[in-house]
């Protein structure tokens, strides 16, 4: 078929219809057989071959209304050459991480067909603008290339973890417009919103969710401290040429939870030219500079507070 070796099944569709498809007249001897119409129907592939059903469909002529009609089958929709099973297979394939183009190739159909089939199977999600969960979580993620902003916005119910909706663009004016679609009552019902330290969220929440309390995500707080510690380390590193390699190589030790540092296993470290354990290396590094030492202690302190959930501290 079209120069490609394919599997072709041959079939004939014939049965006595209940009535004329055109005028609805109940079947009688005035509705007569009127030749066949053959169509080539694309089926789901078999053993990797493009597969077709060459189907001869019985045609009838109705003497009551002088029209002709072709028998219907559940294999394929009227005036269509792609079997219903192929469409289902395309829709199921759309759940996988695969491009529409690849699905089209796999099913021997055009890209446009794949888009159309997906649209017909999956209706677009419409959030209820009169309801929002009491506790929300905001976050962003790197979206697909075609998305308007560099980052897309996602928010979920922080109690159930269920995604409420995704907004293509996380910029403030877009989000503001988006959330204003929700009724005031729905927005006022929101009690807490967990966010990272992306400052536009704070002004957004003040404006759109006046009754909600802002909760900063603890992982982002720690991240802020670890970045600051890294910055201090790099400053010391660039100042102290003698210890440059050591400060560069053992950066992970500074970020590691203090209580998990190894103090028993001595291994050979080439930049120190001797056997050392993690604790010894760490003390060597933080003793190089008083600011680095203070930063390190603060970072470990914050990490401890978060880990033990000691909010007072």
Q: By CB under 5 A, name the binding residues for Zn ion.
A: 20, 22-23, 25, 62, 64-65
C-beta closer to Zn ion: residue 19 or 112: 19
Structure tokens at 120: 């017909």
In the complex, least distance from residue 90 CB atom to Zn ion, rounded to whole angstroms: 36
C-beta closer to Zn ion: residue 20 or 204: 20
In the complex, least distance from residue 13 CB atom to Zn ion, rounded to whole angstroms: 19
In the complex, least distance from residue 50 CB atom to Zn ion, rounded to whole angstroms: 38
C-beta closer to Zn ion: residue 20 or 55: 20
265 CB-side CA count, 13 A: 5
Structure tokens at 252: 């992970």
In the complex, least distance from residue 37 CB atom to Zn ion, rounded to whole angstroms: 17
C-beta closer to Zn ion: residue 62 or 90: 62
C-beta closer to Zn ion: residue 21 or 179: 21
If phi > 0 it is left, if psi is from -120 to 50 it is alpha, else beta; for residue 38 that is beta
In the complex, least distance from residue 31 CB atom to Zn ion, rounded to whole angstroms: 7
| Positions of E strands within the chain | 6-13, 31-46, 49-62, 67-70, 135-142, 151-157, 163-167, 192-195, 213-216, 267-269, 274-276
**258: which residues sit within 8 A by CB, 6+ positions away?**
300, 303, 304
C-beta closer to Zn ion: residue 62 or 103: 62
In the complex, least distance from residue 82 CB atom to Zn ion, rounded to whole angstroms: 29
3 state SS of 85: helix
The owner of tokens 């996988």 is: 96
DSSP conformational letter for 73: B
In the complex, least distance from residue 35 CB atom to Zn ion, rounded to whole angstroms: 17
Dihedral of CA 137/138/139/144: which sign?
Answer: positive
The owner of tokens 């890209």 is: 111
218 vs 306: CA distance, rounded Å: 7
C-beta closer to Zn ion: residue 68 or 235: 68
In the complex, least distance from residue 74 CB atom to Zn ion, rounded to whole angstroms: 23
Dihedral of CA 137/141/143/147: which sign?
Answer: positive
Q: Which is nearest to 182 in space by CA: 139, 136, 134, 128?
A: 128
C-beta closer to Zn ion: residue 72 or 187: 72
């Amino acid at each position: 078929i079209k120069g490609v070796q394919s599997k072709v099944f041959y079939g004939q569709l014939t049965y006595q219809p209940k009535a004329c498809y055109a005028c609805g007249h109940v079947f009688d001897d005035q509705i007569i057989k009127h030749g066949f119409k053959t169509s080539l129907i694309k089926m789901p592939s078999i053993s990797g071959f493009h597969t077709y059903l060459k189907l001869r469909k019985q045609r009838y002529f109705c003497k009551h209304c002088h029209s002709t009609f072709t028998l219907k089958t559940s294999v394929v929709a009227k005036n269509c050459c792609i079997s219903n099973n192929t469409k289902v297979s395309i829709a199921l394939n759309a759940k996988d991480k695969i491009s529409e183009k690849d699905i089209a190739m796999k099913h021997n159909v055009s890209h446009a067909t794949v888009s159309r089939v997906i649209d017909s199977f999956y209706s677009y999600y419409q959030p209820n603008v009169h309801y929002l969960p009491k506790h929300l979580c905001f976050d962003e993620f790197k979206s697909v290339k075609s998305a308007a902003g560099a980052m897309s916005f996602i928010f979920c119910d922080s109690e159930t973890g269920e995604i409420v909706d995704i907004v293509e663009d996380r910029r403030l004016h877009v989000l503001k417009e988006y959330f204003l679609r929700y009724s005031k009552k729905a927005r006022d019902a929101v009690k807490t919103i967990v966010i990272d330290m992306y400052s536009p969220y704070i002004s957004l929440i003040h404006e759109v969710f006046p009754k909600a309390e802002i909760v900063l995500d603890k992982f982002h707080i720690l991240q802020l401290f670890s970045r600051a510690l890294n910055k201090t380390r790099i400053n010391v590193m660039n100042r102290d040429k003698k210890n440059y390699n050591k400060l560069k190589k053992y950066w992970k030790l500074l970020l590691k939870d203090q209580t998990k540092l190894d103090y028993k296993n001595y291994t050979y470290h080439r930049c120190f030219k001797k056997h050392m354990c993690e604790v010894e290396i760490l003390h060597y590094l933080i003793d190089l500079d008083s600011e680095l030492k203070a930063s390190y202690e603060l970072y470990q302190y914050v990490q401890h507070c978060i880990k033990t959930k000691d909010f007072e501290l």
